[in-house]
A and B are shown apart, each in its own frame.
Chain A
Amino acid sequence: QKEVEQDPGPLSVPEGAIVSLNCTYSNSAFQYFMWYRQYSRKGPELLMYTYSSGNKEDGRFTAQVDKSSKYISLFIRDSQPSDSATYLCAMRRGTNAGKSTFGDGTTLTVKP
C-alpha cells in the first residue's frame, strides 16, 4: 500500500465549476503538505504549502488539511481552461525538503 493515495481521475469539468482534488495518507508523521500543478512536459509548479491541519486560501485555490483523518484537499473555485493540468499532492515529515512523498497525480480538464 502506498503512503500517499491520490484520486486518480481523470477529472473533466465545465468552466466555472468548483473542483475538489483529494489525497489520503497513512503516515501520521507527515507535517508539511503541498499541492503542485504540472502542465504537460513541464516541471511541477508549487500552488499551496501548508503546515499541519487547517485551511489556507490563495485566490481561487483553497487547501485543507485534516490530520485526524489523514486527508488533504485542494479546491479550485471558478475553474478556468488554463487550470487544465495534472495536480500532485506531496507531503513530508520533517524539514528535509527532498524527502517529500508524492501522489500519482490527478489530471484535470476544464472545458470552455
Chain B
Amino acid sequence: GAVVSQHPSWVICKSGTSVKIECRSLDFQATTMFWYRQFPKQSLMLMATSNEGSKATYEQGVEKDKFLINHASLTLSTLTVTSAHPEDSSFYICSASWGALAPHSNQPQHFGDGTRLSIL
C-alpha cells in the first residue's frame, strides 16, 4: 500500500492564486521529504529538500519565495506555490524515505501520487 500520501491530486485555479500541496508520510516518520517537479515526458527535477523543524534546502534556480515549503511535523510537509502563473503549471511530486537517520538513511525514496497543477 501507499506509504506517502499527497493531496490534492489535481488543482485548477486562476493566475495569481496561491496553491498549497500536502505531503504526508503514512505509518512512519520522515525527518526529510523531497519535492520534485515533472514536465510531460521528462524526468523528475528535484526542487527542494524539506527538513522537519528547519528551513528547506532549495536547488539552484528554484525560487524560494515562489515555492514555500513548510515541514512542521515528522509526517507532513507542504509546498505552497505563491501567486501562481501559467508557467507554474506542472506535475508536482513529493517523496520521503523512512529511517530515523534520514537524509542519511540508506532506504530508498517512496513517492506520493503527485499533484497536477493547472493555472489558467
Which residues of A come within 8 Å of B, CB atoms?
32, 34, 36, 41-46, 49, 51, 88, 95-100, 102-105
Contact = CB atoms under 8 A, between A and B. Distances in A.
Given A95-B103, A97-B103, A104-B42, 12 more contacts: A32-B108, A36-B111, A41-B116, A43-B93, A43-B113, A43-B114, A44-B111, A97-B34, A97-B107, A97-B109, A98-B34, A98-B95
B32 interface: yes
Contact of A32 (B32, B95, B106): B106
B111 A97 contact: no
B60 to A, nearest CB: 13
15 contacts: A32-B108, A41-B91, A41-B116, A43-B112, A43-B113, A44-B111, A46-B108, A46-B110, A46-B111, A97-B109, A98-B34, A98-B103, A103-B43, A104-B42, A105-B43
A44 B93 contact: yes
Interface of B: 4, 6, 32, 34, 41-44, 46, 49, 91, 93, 95, 97, 101-114, 116
A49 B105 CA distance: 13
Contacts of A51: 106
Q: Which 7 A-B pairs have the closest CB atoms?
A: A43-B111, A97-B97, A98-B34, A102-B43, A49-B108, A104-B43, A43-B113
Contacts of A45: 111
A73 B6 CA distance: 30
Contacts of A97: 32, 34, 97, 102-103, 105, 107-109
